[in-house]
Structure 1
Amino acid sequence: PPSSPSSLSSPSSPSSASSSSSTNELGMYRIFAVRPKRDPDEQDRTLESYCDPAAFDVPPLSDTTHTRPGHAPPRVNAPARPPYAPFPNYTTFDMLYWQNNGSNTKSDQQINILATKVMQEPEFEVEHLARFDAARELKRLDDYIEVEDDSPLSVDDGWCQGNVQVRVPKEGVHYASEEDAPLFTMTNVWHRKFCEVIRGALKQACVRDWHMIPHQLFCTAADVPQRHLDSRSPSPSPSTASARFGTSSATSSSNSSSSSSSMSFSDESDEEDIRIYSEIFNTEAALEEDAAMRSKPRIPGDPEDLEYCVTLICLYSDSTRLTSFGTASLWPIYMYFGNQSKYVRGRPTAYAAHHMAYIPSLPDRIQDFYTDHYNDSATAAVLKFLRRELMQQILLLLLDDSFMYIYVHGDVVVCGDGITRRHFPRFVLYTADYVEKILLACLKYLAKCPCPRCKINKDKIIEMGTRADDYRRNHVRVDNNDVMWRIKLARQWIFEKGMPLTSMYIDRILGPLSLTPTRSAFSVKLREHGFNFYTLFAPDFMHEVELGVWKFAFTHHMRILHAAGADQIQTFNKRFRQVPTFGRSTIRKFSKNVSNQGKLAAQDYEDRLQCFMPVIEGLMKSRADNRIVLDNTFDLAMVLTLGKLRMHTSKTIDGLGEAASSVGTSTREYAKKVCPNYVTVELPKELAARGRRKARRAKVSAAGVSVPTVCKRTYFNHCTYKFHALRDYATTIKALGPLDNSSAQIGEQEHIHSQGDYDRTNKVNYIPQVARRNHRGEKMRTIKQRVDAAREARKKKDSDAAAMEPGAEPPQPRPGPDKNLDDEVNGKLPYTTASQRYHIAKSQRSHDNILDWMSCGDDPALTNFHMNLKDHLLTRLQARGIFMPTDEHDETQIGEHAFEDRARLVIHKETAYWHEVLRLNYTSYDLRRNQDSVTPKNHGDIMLLADTDSEGSDGHTHPYAYARVIRIFHVNVRLYDSPMQEFERMDVAFVRWFRVDHSAPGGFKRKRLHRLEFVSPGSDELAFGFVNPADVIRSSHIIPAFAFGRTDTSVFPDLSECLARGRLPPSTSTSTTPVSHLILWS
């Protein structure tokens, strides 16, 4: 075992009882506090399980995350019931499953599924539908519960109705105690029991891919030789058990002046292996909860081999609109499990979210109740107090006695992987937007201390990233006796002394910490067990960066461009419309005026940030303003890039902390030196919004109102909670893993299912109907797994039986849609296997004779085309060992190879076969298999490893080479006097090369993007050339440097456009070649 101190209280330090996994081919290994009975990473996993489903033909999640045919764990004493139970036959199940899944509006694709995957099943019989009644069958499903303990349908995890009560105070009304105040009862609160839902989830077969024992993930240092597992000694990191977010990530970093310099990614120590953070189950929060659980005595009577584990619970809540028009809405609470991989948890098709409750709004009848008791209307302060109380009472309804029992004593469950465990549920994360986060934390909105994690004052937020700011962040919020005393005293004054909720005396005791006179449900139930509920509220990257800091900065940039005049805003919009797209919706077309903003999603603001620097450059009034804006944008882009990483090491975490500090420095400089130079007013959109708000307020008060027509003066405001949260991301990653674990995006994607369930209701009293349909969907998916397993077993049995008969042909599969048809038939590339490096179509329909091109004369693109192509092919054959060059090579000859060697290489019919798309399969940094698509028409920019680092006059090097693909083709070749006697296909990309412009170097230190330019024909470097598709790393996004102007394409036609048409124009020869300056974002 690792030679580290033995300490259960410090999960970062492996104890003497810890165990290590084997080291994989990438040098990664895991350290566990106890050896798990089953390690999912040690099991056989196919390459498809690491693939992006948008790019590869991978099985659906229902096949990979639930029961897989032939892989389901055996159930003990399983009864001989049909797999389609409780339905009477396969036909009934297939019809109901089709109706309750897929699109709510049945499209052509849904009809195809009905015709091919439902009606053509061997078990489908029309006679079974003679007396079919959907309502009766769904009622049968609702009532169905199995009696076996190991069945996921054995638990009563359905929805139930509950009541919650809140005490209603009144200013000036005294009670002997709070218990004497009138109770307002909320009925029909739809919710589910935590213990039953958790028990049912653990019985699902997808648990075989869960990590029930948290671990530390390490990678061996690159310069450290491979060592024996017993001698491995990773450097222990400090424990954060006292407060997950209590220590700033850079308390030892320099002050703001030094942190604003370059981004430093220093190398790891040679003596240390590298700690990796990727999932919740390999972070500090999970390790702390596991260590705290193991530090307590085992339950008496438990066998020694009974595995103890923690179930990591992640909650999410947010209201969502159910219709585009009207007032229908839903406020759900979702539960996720941190033991499950985020790559599954974050996909809506995985159905990883468990709906726990639908929070009702405070009803209008509260005013009737208040008037009946106090003969007066409730004030706004009272209604706000009751809303806070209602939220906490609903959480108390979920944290019932049954849950608290398993929280303390655990619950023995036969899990879906066949292993019996005693699990202890533990809360590690509650994701919500800022408004709801403050509601859950029982804090005042935008008050003196706006952060739910620390006690920083609002007026000090402006110093984000300084040493003083790092020191203040160490004053974390703790649910201690002082907080309890303040809340208790305030409630006594409210109920027993009749003080108004807005009293200055109450504010004096609650105001210093921005508390409210409401106690958190987590505090009521879990404080006695050592739980600090403030650690639940991790920052939300999506709302705080893309929809927060960057959105505010972008909006003020637009105000400045409007103030600058001279059609700057129109130039800005025009430039954005010319930004090329990239990837599969990674960067989409900016077709509308970007400055108008509109109702944009987080991804839209992310796209704007990634493309903003070349667009805004040169539009400010002065070079100094331009420099500051570009510096600030680069810093924000670095926070976005590092914060979006799905796998982190200590280097990237430190880099994110430094990037956040740089944002603080550059933002203060922007506010001090740029903003005062412009008289900024409301944007037209903001003026219209202010008018609508004023009209709504006037409508409520029944007073007349005049629509505002004059724009108000506006100022740049960065003293916000979202600006403050930038510095917490590095610490959050160590506690909870990469920020996609705590992003609200996962929960918002689950709203799609809630909205789909609503669409299937009759829209009247819809919440009970949504709840029932949600539970039916869970049951139907469980039954679907059994039906698929039974059908797969039947097919295998029939195939084996047919193979045993002498002379019998194997059964032919039923005809169905074939996604892998050749492009000659359906005009589309078939799916590729993830193991392929790249993929080009097999078609030879489009072709040209290469020698015909020589008639184009002295066109620079085709100069020595045939000779250079053969040189390229011979070089590749030489690397494969097939071709050996002639010993005597005349140095006076043109080209890389001798004339005799080129004569040996024969291109079949001297023909090139053209293709439109090159697909590049690659492994991303987080060990996922992804794909890029390169097309000469619109996505033709690629990057390769440079043969030698291109060094500029200033000594700076660049490790990559860049090119623009003009055409993709293949040739069939053979080589005389070699083992290659048959024609063999060789794929080629014809490219035009870029070179790095070292006169304007980029990078972290200069806070600029690297600038590229086309290589000019006739220069010392090759302007055109050939590339082996297997050598291409990825496609790249190259944006025009608008500030430097565009070349005159009317004088020199674009060669790529000419070749894309299949023929070059009669004459495109030039004595000089235009250079288009470009900027790279990679």
Structure 2
Amino acid sequence: MPTSVPTLPHPLSVFSSQRNSFGVMREYSIHLNSTITHDPDGLITLHDLTDIPLPSPRNVSRNLNPYGPFSNLSSFLMADWYWNSNNKSYLDFQKLISILKRPNFSLEDATQVNWAATFKALGANRDDLPEDTGSWIKDDGWKTTQISIDVPFHSRMKNSGMEKYTVGDFRHRSIVSVIREKILNPDENRQFHYYPYRSTWKASEASPEVDLYGELYASQAFRDAHEELQKQPDPVPGEPLEKVVVALMLASDSTHLTSFGDAQLWPCYLFFGNESKYRRCQPSQHLCHQIAYFEKLSDKFTDYLKTRNHGKLPSDAFMTHCTRELFHAQWAVLLDDELLDAMKNGIVIMCPDGRRRRFYPRIFTYSADYPEKILVGGIRNNGICPCHRCFIKKSDLSNLGAPIDDQRHVQQRIDSEDRRRELVSDARREILENSYAVDGTKVEALLKSQSLVPVNNAFFSPRFLPFIMSILPSLVVDILHEFEVGVWKRLFTHLIRLLEAFSQASGVTLSAELDYRYRLTPSFGRDAVRRFGVNASAMKRKAARDFEDLLQCAIPAFEGLLPEPHGTALMKLLFVFAQWHALAKLRLQNDHTLDLLDYTTTQLGAHTRRFDRDTCSRVATKELAKEAEARARREAKGKGKGKAASTTRKPATLGIFTVKFHYLGDYVPTIRRFGTSDSYSTENGERAHGLPKSWYARTDKQDYQEQKTRIERRQARLSRIRAQALEPSKEDHHMGGASNGLSPTEAGVEARYIMASNQNQPVDLGSAVVNCLGATHHDLYLVDFIPKLKQHLMPRILQRLGFECSAGYKGDWTSVVIRDHRIYQHKLLKINYTTYDIRRDQDVIHIETPQCNVMLLNSNFPVPGAHSLYLYSRVLGVYHANVSYIGVLPDGTRRYDSFRLDMVWGQWYESLSHPGKEEFQLDRLRLSPVETPESLHFMDPADILRGVHLIPQFSLGKVDALPPKSRLVIPQESEWNAYYINRFVDRDMFMRYQYGMSVGHIYMHSLFPLPMLPSIPTDFDYCLQDLPPPAARGSEQAQASGSNVTPTSEFTRTCPLDPLIMDQATTHDGDSNDLDQADTSEHAGLGVRHDDDPNKMDQADAYEHADHDYLDDMNDREIILHEEMYGEI
């Protein structure tokens, strides 16, 4: 019988698009004589390019059973209202009223429903319902699988050998089923990318072409998988279907469900890299799929071990081994034969566009914190080689960015996978066949040198070798845990220790002064920088985003608090930290920004080592009060009930050179491989926790995992019914801003700015301006107000009438007529702008608040004398006027057309920064004196680039005189002598100062055809000298007289302390007693364990790392969760 020959595909060719107005071009690799049949980017609307709330487009499809298990629209609307909010609010009450008022709502239809049976069917699996009632269900629902593990009792235990123990029921979904559900959904398939592409950018003809890095479907990893798949023969001869890679992005993390109690959930999430990260990373889009709730070892397992082992519990290493086995036993269920077949032969699906395609799942990323990374990768907790990517030794973790830090590139774990499998197999043979302990001598001899563990890793199963070459590269970087609540939090904590050390010498409570400065730091944007709490230094209830805000505003807050030379060193270090953070979090990278990130990583490593060597090692610092109390509670727990531990504050060091510090060097290669870090940040998984946590209140608190699976299906199915069966209602189009006269629409988002149209606040130019300039009421702000206003309006009127006119043209400005001699004032101005990553965003300028500062392009740049690309102004007023021109026009005619013109009244800032300023310094401004003739000015709101975040330079204090009073300017407090321009306030602002590197800022393209990239000099000091031994660290006491770190009297004078906190110097330590009380691990919408640094380890590693400072970053409940999840160490 003849055998069928696989059909070989056609060779691939490159298809290139035209460069768009931003200089961006795409290259697709497709088969010869084929076309791109599905292009989501061609369907992009303005709604897809902005985070500003807009009405969502909705495709309405009609089918035979549009309402699923509901017999009519009314019952569906009531169920949808009930299930899609857990804690009913007044807004929910209004939604209910709007449902009842709908003309097609029938109370009789809603009351005749058997709600218990309907809700049960809504959350049930299709197989659990009769065929006639479950036909509307298109998904496979949740499954329950019994999980067992092999428990290895070694030769010195009773009845040694392997025993199988049934842990419990594992609730999960089929990954293949989730893929089918995703692709068959017409609404979500519309923006599901089938073809990866290479994106390049060329700013101008004189600029080099560079690669762009952003979406996962435009990454090198996706392109490699796509091209490899296209070269494979068709699995079914004669059926050459289009082959598509499905990019699986996994995330998992344990979370606490209540503030008090021990209810926990360990969900596993699935995202699709074929979808844009701008949608995927927004919880409101519901693109995160819950695929499993992992089980943990329960108290029953502990009882089983005690019964099995004469009442004694095995070693901690034994318990940790069982935890690892259970985790991978559950992953072995998820990585089932159905998924294996899909990876090998694809899933044939009839897509919503009517074409049959074959979809091949591939695992691209797995987002997790460090404890879970090593759990997935089968690496020992903080072993000799603590990194899951390379074999770097623990002693070399501090060498970040130095030339000798090449271990990560030379010896990669992925290059020794075969050897790894042999070692783990041999170790398991010793455990299973020879009854050696999991941490026995023979097992340790095989695994310890590479920090491996003898676990049966599901990701290294031989079945998946062709499709999962190694899970280790997929364990991507994690800026949230590794930097924001990792490296940066450690540095911030030690800075508080330093402030306390220097407070003893100066008599000034420096941490209280720091809190005062943070409180005075203005907020910015919708959520870029939020208002700081009363005591920032206490770090109470701080989530990752709070530490991010602390870093973004740290330079003005810490300036001058440490004496020289430590103060200058700290300012540079904070700038480098903030710049590294801004670069690592960019949502659109290019080769220039990655080169700058590489450069900044080198600087960060060197400056951190220098600060540790020259400051931290010379100043004796002690634990904070909260750290000492937390340590005492841990020690008391270990000693037993009724035994107290000492709360004496022990010496504490910087302790920053952990594996998290080492990971900072992996960001550049990871971004080049998988795209930008926001795409796979653990922040996405942390945000997704909000949904299953909110469901806990709907359960009976007993078998809540099972009940959550049904709630998840109910909400998912209701969402699909809503999208397919309902027309958008008027409520969907309602948008915020109506109360202040603004009505933003899609057309408004395209506009440069939005200003209200009402005329509720008229300003009479006669009474308000002319009468205020008399001898008795001389208003400095209103001097030449009307002439300046008309001179500003003159060229704009001519341009409106169709005449070319420069902005500085004055002409016969006296012929400008302002109707009724009135202008109309507004409080708000919304500035729309294009971001660096080619999206639309918005700043709200609010006069009489700190959010009233703006930036404009300097039209004189780069003429000599114009050192800055930008000009800065404080907005004093937002106005519009109805104007006309009665003079002779340039063509000799007269036209008396009247129309509205908008204008902004402002006061210039003067630059205090000179062109040759040192690297790693923020630019500074001061407010131009109102007496200066050119200080006050009018501007076209369309010329404003965006708002700007200015932070006072606290160390210079305030000016002595109060600003003059004015009828049109609300009296303000004394001005500060200088302000810092906070370029780190958000990513777009940061990129406006990276000249020649920003894709979306077109005005830079011609001015900076080549980027301004710094480079490491050949004689650069990497600060690799040996650090002082522990006994010598802090030998130079901060309070020692004559020491070079003693604060001076000048320092005391230049710190404007808050008078309300001057008396706290003697009580500061005592006020710290409750610093970590109720410090929940999930809050503010983003659950974060403050430091998941697993410097915890197996017993065999205990001698390698005796310092347990990492636990001081956790409160009691976090430590308990850590031990329960990853095993008692």
Q: Does residue 1022 of the first structure (1) align with residue 934 of the second (2)?
A: yes
* Partner of residue 20 from structure 1, selected from 5, 16, 21: 16
Q: 1:507 to 1:144 in 2, by over 3 A?
A: closer
* Partner of residue 489 from structure 2, selected from 544, 551, 556: 551
* Partner of residue 125 from structure 1, selected from 101, 106, 110: 106
Shift of 1:694: 2.7
- Counterpart position of 1:464: 400
Partner amino acid for 1:560?
A: L
Shift of 1:452: 1.2
- Counterpart position of 1:207: 189
Q: 1:38 to 1:446 in 2, by over 3 A?
A: same
Q: Does residue 855 of the first structure (1) align with residue 771 of the second (2)?
A: yes
- Counterpart position of 1:796: none
Kindly provide the CA deviation profile for residues 465-502 of structure 1, in whole angstroms up to 9, marking residues without a partner as x.
01221354332112622101111121122233332233
TM-score by length of 2: 0.80
Q: Does residue 982 of the first structure (1) align with residue 911 of the second (2)?
A: no
* Partner of residue 92 from structure 2, selected from 100, 105, 110: 110
Partner amino acid for 1:217?
A: S
1:345–1:353 Cα contact (<8 Å) kept: yes
Partner amino acid for 1:741?
A: S
Q: 1:471 to 1:329 in 2, by over 3 A?
A: closer
Between 368-377 and 205-214, the greater mean CA deviation after superposition: 368-377
1:32–1:214 Cα contact (<8 Å) kept: yes
Shift of 1:119: 2.3
1:965–1:990 Cα contact (<8 Å) kept: yes
Larger relative contact order (Cα-Cα within 8 Å, sequence gap ≥ 6): 2
Q: Does residue 1047 of the first structure (1) align with residue 959 of the second (2)?
A: yes
* Partner of residue 618 from structure 2, selected from 665, 677, 684: 677
* Partner of residue 919 from structure 1, selected from 807, 810, 830: 830
Partner amino acid for 2:573?
A: N
Q: Give SS of 1:968's match.
A: strand
- Counterpart position of 2:632: 691
Q: Mapping of 1:619-698 within 5 angstroms?
A: 619-622=561-564, 624-698=565-639
Kindly provide the CA deviation profile for residues 954-979 of structure 1, in whole angstroms up to 9, marking residues without a partner as x.
x7821000000011111211001456
- Counterpart position of 2:315: 379
- Counterpart position of 2:1110: none
1:91–1:125 Cα contact (<8 Å) kept: yes
Shift of 1:629: 0.5
- Counterpart position of 2:50: 51
Q: Does residue 413 of the first structure (1) align with residue 349 of the second (2)?
A: yes
Q: Mapping of 1:31-42 within 5 angstroms?
A: 31-34=27-30, 37-41=36-40
Q: Does residue 875 of the first structure (1) align with residue 823 of the second (2)?
A: no
Distance 1:430 1:456 in 2: 22
Q: Give SS of 1:314's match.
A: strand
Q: Mapping of 1:504-583 within 5 angstroms?
A: 504-524=441-461, 525-529=463-467, 531-565=469-503, 566-583=508-525
2:176–2:339 Cα contact (<8 Å) kept: yes
2:78–2:110 Cα contact (<8 Å) kept: no
Distance 2:350 2:102 in 1: 33
5+ long unaligned stretches in structure 2: 1-7, 984-1129
Q: Give SS of 2:357's match.
A: strand
Q: Give SS of 2:959's match.
A: coil
Partner amino acid for 2:758?
A: S
- Counterpart position of 1:804: none
Q: Give SS of 1:681's match.
A: coil
Between 155-164 and 314-323, the greater mean CA deviation after superposition: 155-164
1:86–1:144 Cα contact (<8 Å) kept: no
Q: How many residues align?
A: 947
1:367–1:378 Cα contact (<8 Å) kept: no
- Counterpart position of 2:1016: none
Shift of 1:292: 2.0
Between 330-339 and 851-860, the greater mean CA deviation after superposition: 851-860
Between 470-479 and 755-764, the greater mean CA deviation after superposition: 470-479
Q: Does residue 830 of the first structure (1) align with residue 743 of the second (2)?
A: yes
2:958–2:977 Cα contact (<8 Å) kept: yes
Q: Report the RMSD for the aligned CA atoms in angstroms.
A: 2.9
Q: Mapping of 1:385-424 within 5 angstroms?
A: 385-424=321-360
* Partner of residue 1076 from structure 1, selected from 962, 977, 994: 977
2:922–2:982 Cα contact (<8 Å) kept: yes
Kindly provide the CA deviation profile for residues 137-196 of structure 1, in whole angstroms up to 9, marking residues without a partner as x.
123334575999xx99665521111022211112325999x9x61101123111111222
Q: Give SS of 2:352's match.
A: coil
Q: 1:494 to 1:741 in 2, by over 3 A?
A: same
Q: 1:820 to 1:335 in 2, by over 3 A?
A: closer
Partner amino acid for 1:192?
A: R
Distance 2:393 2:298 in 1: 35
TM-score by length of 1: 0.83
Q: Percent identity?
A: 29
Q: Give SS of 1:201's match.
A: helix
Shift of 1:818: 8.0
Q: Give SS of 1:729's match.
A: helix
Q: Does residue 481 of the first structure (1) align with residue 422 of the second (2)?
A: no
Distance 1:364 1:564 in 2: 48
Kindly provide the CA deviation profile for residues 1030-1081 of structure 1, in whole angstroms up to 9, marking residues without a partner as x.
0000000011111112112xx33366x86344xx89xx9xxxx987311101
- Counterpart position of 1:973: 883
Q: 1:921 to 1:166 in 2, by over 3 A?
A: same
Shift of 1:332: 0.6
- Counterpart position of 1:313: 248
- Counterpart position of 1:227: none
Q: 1:684 to 1:416 in 2, by over 3 A?
A: farther
Q: Give SS of 2:832's match.
A: strand
Q: 1:745 to 1:822 in 2, by over 3 A?
A: closer
Between 542-551 and 687-696, the greater mean CA deviation after superposition: 687-696
* Partner of residue 299 from structure 1, selected from 235, 256, 259: 235
- Counterpart position of 1:785: 723
Partner amino acid for 1:57?
A: L
Distance 2:49 2:499 in 1: 45
Q: Give SS of 2:904's match.
A: strand
- Counterpart position of 1:499: 436
Distance 2:859 2:203 in 1: 26
* Partner of residue 185 from structure 1, selected from 146, 166, 169: 166
- Counterpart position of 1:602: 544
Partner amino acid for 1:915?
A: H
Distance 2:460 2:732 in 1: 56
Kindly provide the CA deviation profile for residues 878-933 of structure 1, in whole angstroms up to 9, marking residues without a partner as x.
444656899xxxxxxxx9735xx122111112212111000001111112111100
Q: 1:209 to 1:154 in 2, by over 3 A?
A: same
1:992–1:1024 Cα contact (<8 Å) kept: yes
Distance 2:439 2:805 in 1: 90
Q: 1:519 to 1:711 in 2, by over 3 A?
A: same
Shift of 1:759: 1.9
Q: Mapping of 1:42-441 within 5 angstroms?
A: 43-52=42-51, 55-59=52-56, 63=57, 68-69=59-60, 81-101=64-84, 103-116=85-98, 118-143=99-124, 145=126, 155-172=138-155, 181-205=162-186, 206-223=188-205, 269=208, 273-304=209-240, 306-375=241-310, 376-441=312-377
Q: Does residue 1031 of the first structure (1) align with residue 943 of the second (2)?
A: yes
Kindly provide the CA deviation profile for residues 568-620 of structure 1, in whole angstroms up to 9, marking residues without a partner as x.
22221111111111111211112311111112111111111111111111111
Q: Give SS of 2:395's match.
A: helix
Q: Give SS of 2:909's match.
A: strand
- Counterpart position of 1:865: 785
Q: Give SS of 1:1007's match.
A: coil
- Counterpart position of 1:4: none
Partner amino acid for 1:924?
A: T
Distance 1:169 1:92 in 2: 55
Partner amino acid for 1:545?
A: F
2:68–2:137 Cα contact (<8 Å) kept: no
5+ long unaligned stretches in structure 1: 1-7, 73-77, 225-267, 793-813, 887-894
Distance 1:822 1:200 in 2: 37
* Partner of residue 907 from structure 2, selected from 992, 996, 1000: 992
1:389–1:518 Cα contact (<8 Å) kept: yes
Distance 2:43 2:809 in 1: 47
